[in-house]
Every structure is written in C-alpha cells, then in structure tokens.
Amino acid sequence: MPERTVTGAAPALRELGYWLHRYRRIWRGTVVISVANPLLFLTALGAGLGKLINTRTAAALHGTPYLHFVLPGLLAAAAMQTTYVEAAGPVLQSVRTRGNYRAAATTPLDPTDILYGHLLFILLRVTMTGAMFALVGAAFGTVGATRALLLAPCTTLIGLAFATPVAAWAVTVSRPASLTMMMRFAILPLYMFSGTFFPTTGLPGPLRDLAEATPLWHGVELCRSLALGTATAAATAVHVGYLAAMAAVGLWAARRSYRRVLHA
C-alpha cells in the first residue's frame, strides 16, 4: 500500500485555521466592539461616576483618581467576559448544532488537537480585546504606555485560566440555556464583586475573603498593581501562580472531556 505523507501545519494550527477563516468575515465588528466597550466605560465611569467618587472617598483609593483605579479592573473583567463569550457558546455549537468539532474529529486531528487549536483562537481574541482596552486606556492617559504594554499578556493569562475550564464544561453541555445560567450566576457576580469597581477591602470580613479567593480578583489585582506601579514580586507571583494553576487544572479537565465527548 502506498504511504501518503501528510504535510502541512501542526494539527492544532489546522484547527486554528478553521477559526481564523470564520473570523475573517466578522473581524471588523469585533474591533469596533473592542474599542467601543472601553470607550463607553471610561467615559461613563471617568467623567460621570469618577468625579463624584474622587471628591468624596479618594482615601480608599490611596489618592489614585478613580479612572486610573477602575481601568485595570475593567480590563481584567473584560478579559474574563470575552473569554466566556468566545469559549462557551462556540464550543457548544461546535459539538452540537454546527458540528464542526465532530467533522474535525473524523480527520487526522485528535480531540486534544481540536482543543488546542480552538484555545489558541480564544487566546488570540482575548489578547486582542485586552490590547485594545489598554490602548484606549493609554489614550485617555489613565495608564502609561509601557505599563499598558504589560497588561496585554495579563489578559492572555486570565483568558487561559478561564477558557480551559469553560471549554471543559461547555463541550459536555447539551442545552444552550445552561450557558445563560452560568453567565448570570457565575460570570456576572464575579464581574461585580471581584474588586473590578471598588476595593474589596471595603467588604465585610467573610465576603472579602470570598471575593479575594476568586480567580477574577487575582486577575484584577495583577492588572491593577502593574498599571498603578504598586506590584511586588511576591504578590505578582501569587496572582500569576493562582491563574496558571487554574489554567493547568482546566487544561487537564478539558483534555479529558474533549476525549470523552469526541471519541465516545
């Protein structure tokens, strides 16, 4: 039997190619959203709410203008939200309605190749969103240009920490309504209570402990300490370590659930 040698990109990059091909048709819209989102937030919170806060409770923010304080929080939260939107629905559709995962599974790709390729695309999207967010922040003068540069890889890390467990779960979900529930009862509370808009030091004891145990809080703190220049090596290591550990566990779970679902 003649051997046919298959050349071309590594299998995971072929899956990435699929997502990039789809993305070609919608990229303009996503860029507009990525810029408009921080613009709206910074205008409303900076010009509106910020004025009120800066005159009243500047002490809790250690003298930082509210806009400078809230920008890295919003950026970290946007990274989480973008990741959820990119990972949950598209993964469910890929395995159910559209079936592109099932189609890819009949090619030389293994389930883990499919996972890695899609994760690469999600990370690309979240990093783009983060970079755009930081760029708008720098344009507003709320974060220095060099510090803004540091924020983009932080959003990649936050993206990886959330994308892996979300994908691990979404590939097993059969009802789209479950995704909405998760958004409402997990993602939104994280968004509101992980120190995005206000310092968690103001929360009552147990609530504060809870907030500071969440992954988004570590993401917010990582971004904020880098943006405001208050980062210490120890604290940064803890935040990065937490998010990296979450990504590692998520990846283990996702490899497992992708194999179980696509190679049943």
Query: Does 41 help bind other proteins (rule: CB under 8 A)?
Result: no
52-60, 106-114, 118-126, 204-212 -> range binding other proteins (CB under 8 A): 106-114
Q: How far apart, in whole angstroms, are the C-alpha atoms of residue 93 and residue 98?
A: 5
Q: Residue from 18, 121, 169, 191 that binds other proteins (CB under 8 A)? A: 18
What is d(CA 186, CA 214) in angstroms, rounded to the nearest whole number?
11
What distance in Å separates the CA atoms of residue 144 and residue 242, rounded to the nearest whole number?
26
Answer for which of 36, 54, 108, 187 binds other proteins (CB under 8 A) is 108
Question: Which region among 107-115, 119-127, 133-141, 239-247 touches other proteins (by CB under 8 A)?
Answer: 107-115
Do 126 and 158 touch, CB atoms closer than 8 A? yes
| Of positions 12, 163, 167, 262, contacts other proteins by CB under 8 A | 262
The answer to whether residue 103 forms part of the interface with other proteins (CB under 8 A) is: yes
Q: Give the ranges where the chain is alpha helix by DSSP (H).
A: 11-23, 27-42, 50-56, 66-95, 100-105, 111-139, 145-170, 176-182, 188-193, 205-211, 215-228, 233-262
- Can residue 107 be called a binding residue for other proteins (CB under 8 A)? yes
User: Tell me, what DSSP letter sits at residue 47?
Assistant: I
Is residue 4 involved in binding other proteins (CB under 8 A)?
Answer: yes
Residue type (1 letter), 39: L
Q: Which of 78, 92, 105, 216 binds other proteins (CB under 8 A)?
A: 105
Task: Write out the residues near other proteins by the rule CB under 8 A.
Answer: 1, 4, 6-9, 11, 14-15, 17-18, 21-22, 98-100, 102-110, 262-264
